[in-house]
Structures are given as structure tokens and as C-alpha cells.
């Protein structure tokens, strides 16, 4: 992880992204999307998947499968959600970050800020035993506009009743970092090694 030089003494709330930050989920997400798209005859390569990382499926599926109708895309999204729990064995917890968050959680609110959908978020959290870590969760079901739009982070800041500069967040993707920065929340970028190849 690389820090932006934020003083810990000033931090009054801590946020974290989920996919690729708190938990390495690229292989799991890829497998579920690949299978869902294959069910409607669309090939989905690892490299194409990586180019979509951090984006909401409502945004990237019409780009990677322009031949599909909106109804078909909605079906792919539902099929991906159905298949995703079967791939959770391919996920890996960011143990150092979890230890850091548990330390912070003794004195300040710790929240998950993700644009992943609630069902998938709950499945990942349960799989890794993180149910008690978060004061609250902002997920894709709570917002209209996904990252890089700042809505998710603005909602989190509003929930803790603080100035954005009194919070920090952990993010791995350019999309997530842009979202936090547009909301005024300082960012610590998480670099996750080992999941860039399939």
C-alpha cells in the first residue's frame, strides 16, 4: 500500500473499497462474468475483463457486448450474480489491511464503500468472516451513479457526519480513486500483487 501522507491523528472515519482492495476478487468476478456471457454466446477474455475493472456492469457490459439487448444484459447480470458464490473459493483476503481496519475500528467508524451489489457483497463478507468489521456499508444498491461518480463516497461521508478531509479511504482502481477524490476524501492506493494473470 502506498500512502498519500495523511496523518493518522486527523482520521475520524475510515472507508475501504471491497473488490481488489479488501479482497482480491478478480478471478472470481471474471469466472462468473465469463460463464454468464458464455450462456448468451459472448466470449469474454481475461484482458477484456481487466479493462473493465472498477466499473459497474451496467456501464461496461453494453460496451463489451454491444450485440446484446438491455433485457439480455439484465439477464447476464442476474446470471453472474447467481454464479458468483461458486467462485468465492478463488478470492483472497488482504490480511494486512483487515488488521489495520480492525485496529481503527476500536476508535472510529469503519465503513465499506463499494458499488458492488448487496448480494455479492454479503457473500464475500460472510465467506471471509468480516460481518462485524463495518459500522455500515454503502453498496451499489444504495446509489444511482457508480464510481467514478462520487455519490457512494458522499453518502458515506454524510453517514458519519464529518468533513471529507477527516476521512480516508483505501482503493485499488483508478475509477475508485477518482470517485473518492471527487468527493474530497483522501485516498490510500492499495496495490494488490498476484492477481493480474489468469
The pLDDT tens digits for 126-181 are 999 999 999 999 999 999 998 999 999 999 999 999 999 999 999 999 999 999 99
Q: Please report which confidence band the pLDDT of residue 195 belongs to, taking 50, 70 and 90 as the band edges.
A: low
139: its cell numbers: 453498496
What is the distance between the alpha carbons of residues 95 and 23, in angstroms, rounded to a whole number? 9
Sheet of 187-189, strands arranged across? 136-138, 110-113, 13-16, 167-171, 187-189
Q: Please report which confidence band the pLDDT of residue 54 belongs to, taking 50, 70 and 90 as the band edges.
A: confident
pLDDT at residue 153 in the model: 98
Residue 197 pLDDT > 50, yes or no?
A: no
The pLDDT tens digits for 68-101 are 999 999 999 999 999 999 999 999 999 999 999 9
- Neighbouring CB atoms inside 10 A of 107's CB total 10
What is the distance between the alpha carbons of residues 99 and 173, in angstroms, rounded to a whole number? 21
- Please state the length of the chain: 198
* Per-residue burial over 128-157, b = 16 or more CB atoms within 10 Å of its CB, e = otherwise: bebeebbeebbbbebbeebbbbbbbbbbbb
Residue 2 pLDDT > 80, yes or no?
A: no
pLDDT at residue 53 in the model: 86
What is the distance between the alpha carbons of residues 159 and 154, in angstroms, rounded to a whole number? 9
Give the number of C-alpha atoms closer than 13 A to the C-alpha of residue 145, restricted to the C-beta side.
9
DSSP 103-140: HHTTTS-EEEE--S-HHHHHHHHHHTT-TTT-SEEE-G
Mean pLDDT along residues 101-112: 97
Q: What percent of the chain has pLDDT over 90?
A: 84
Do the beta carbons of residue 164 and residue 155 sit within 8 Å?
A: no
Amino acid at each position: 500500500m502506498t500512502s498519500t501522507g495523511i496523518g493518522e491523528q486527523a482520521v475520524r472515519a475510515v472507508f475501504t473499497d471491497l473488490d481488489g482492495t479488501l479482497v482480491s476478487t478478480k478471478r472470481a468476478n471474471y469466472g462468473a462474468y465469463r460463464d454468464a456471457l458464455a450462456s448468451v454466446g459472448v466470449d469474454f477474455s481475461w484482458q477484456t475483463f481487466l479493462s473493465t475493472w472498477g466499473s459497474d456492469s451496467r456501464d461496461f457490459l453494453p460496451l463489451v457486448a454491444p450485440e446484446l439487448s438491455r433485457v439480455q444484459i439484465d439477464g447476464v447480470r442476474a446470471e453472474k450474480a447467481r454464479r458468483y458464490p461458486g467462485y468465492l473459493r478463488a478470492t483472497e483476503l488482504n490480511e494486512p489491511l483487515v488488521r489495520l481496519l480492525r485496529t481503527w475500528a476500536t476508535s472510529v467508524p469503519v465503513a465499506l464503500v463499494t458499488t458492488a451489489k448487496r448480494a455479492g457483497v454479503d457473500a464475500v463478507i460472510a465467506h471471509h468472516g468480516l460481518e462485524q468489521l463495518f459500522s455500515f456499508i454503502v453498496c451499489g444498491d444504495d446509489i444511482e451513479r457508480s464510481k467514478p461518480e462520487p455519490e457512494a463516497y458522499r453518502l458515506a461521508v454524510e453517514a458519519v457526519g464529518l468533513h471529507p478531509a477527516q476521512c480516508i479511504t483505501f482503493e485499488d482502481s483508478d475509477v475508485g480513486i477518482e470517485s473518492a477524490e471527487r468527493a474530497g476524501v483522501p485516498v490510500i492506493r492499495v496495490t494488490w500483487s498476484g492477481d493480474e494473470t489468469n
